[in-house]
Copies of this chain bind each other. A is one copy, B any other.
């Protein structure tokens, strides 16, 4: 499965590259900063879930590709801004220097803005190029709504505001659902919409994505306690050290593991209700959630 995912990620890399800006013109440096972070070796989970959901509902056209690139641009802009000194102040990500270290804080702010904006430029060009795809308008609306204040940014705001403070369970679930979940919801809903899924099916995929996003995040908490830094590829025990409230520190590892299982089962059961199937998508979801690193 690991190899299958890696080969799929490599294909997605090729798709994304087609939509990256050329590094030329007076404003060349901003394209360099955008592409530097876009090509910093992400797992491409969001475009992968989008494409596989598109295939699940029978989608076969090129219209999905700009949306795959767009959702990865939105994810990447959020990393650039999260890493800034005024937020997480991280100098490294995946062993590479972060954008503000390489290009300066001013260019990192602008490169984040540029990627968020470019995501909509790339996605909305489909309104001209593919005017007859049903669901296109809704897909663009979802692409705008889920990463915003009622989704990803909202989660980030609450996370920043509550750092170092005791967090209640409802707040924690809000952060998880928004910060991690919203883009996964967007990915799967857009895949369904562009393939012509019904309104009920799009809602079902939203629920699947919600379970998956939450399970993914709780598994992250569990691994921070149970894994070692070699397997995980990053320091462990940091949540406890930073007195960070997570699902696993609040409820304990056992209860957290149970919740991951429950959510995974719910997602798989929901998928089973559909009249269509994509075995790779089901395997991918289970693999993502139950990963050991």
Measuring CB to CB, which residues of chain A are less than 8 angstroms from any residue of chain B? 21, 25-27, 29-31, 34, 77, 81, 84, 86-87, 104-107, 109-110, 112-114, 116-118, 120-121, 123-125, 127-128, 131, 136-138, 140-141, 143-145, 147-150, 153-158, 160-161, 171, 174, 178
Contacts and interface: CB of A to CB of B under 8 A. Distances in A.
Contacts of A77: 113
Contact of A161 (B29, B87, B112, B118): B29
A130 to B, nearest CB: 10
A144 B120 contact: yes
A149 B114 contact: yes
A141 B128 contact: yes
A161 B141 CA distance: 34
A171 B26 contact: yes
**How many copies of this kind of chain does the complex include?**
2
B153 A117 contact: yes
Q: Looking at chain A's contact residues, is the secondary structure mostly helix, strand, loop, or mixed? A: helix
5 contacts: A27-B155, A114-B148, A117-B148, A127-B127, A127-B137
B131 A144 contact: no
Contacts of A118: 148-149
A167 B40 CA distance: 33
Contacts of A150: 27
Given A109-B81, A161-B29, A128 B117 contact: no
Given A149-B27, A149-B30, A157 B110 contact: yes
Nearest to A116: B116
Contact of A114 (B27, B31, B123, B153): B153
Contacts of A160: 106-107, 110
Contact of A86 (B106, B124, B148, B156): B106
A112 B110 contact: no
A174 B25 CA distance: 10
B127 A138 contact: yes
A108 to B, nearest CB: 8
Contacts of A106: 86-87, 160
Nearest to A127: B137
B109 A154 contact: no
Given A87-B106, A110-B160, A124-B144, 13 more contacts: A21-B149, A27-B153, A31-B149, A84-B109, A87-B109, A110-B153, A116-B116, A118-B148, A118-B149, A120-B144, A124-B137, A124-B140, A127-B141
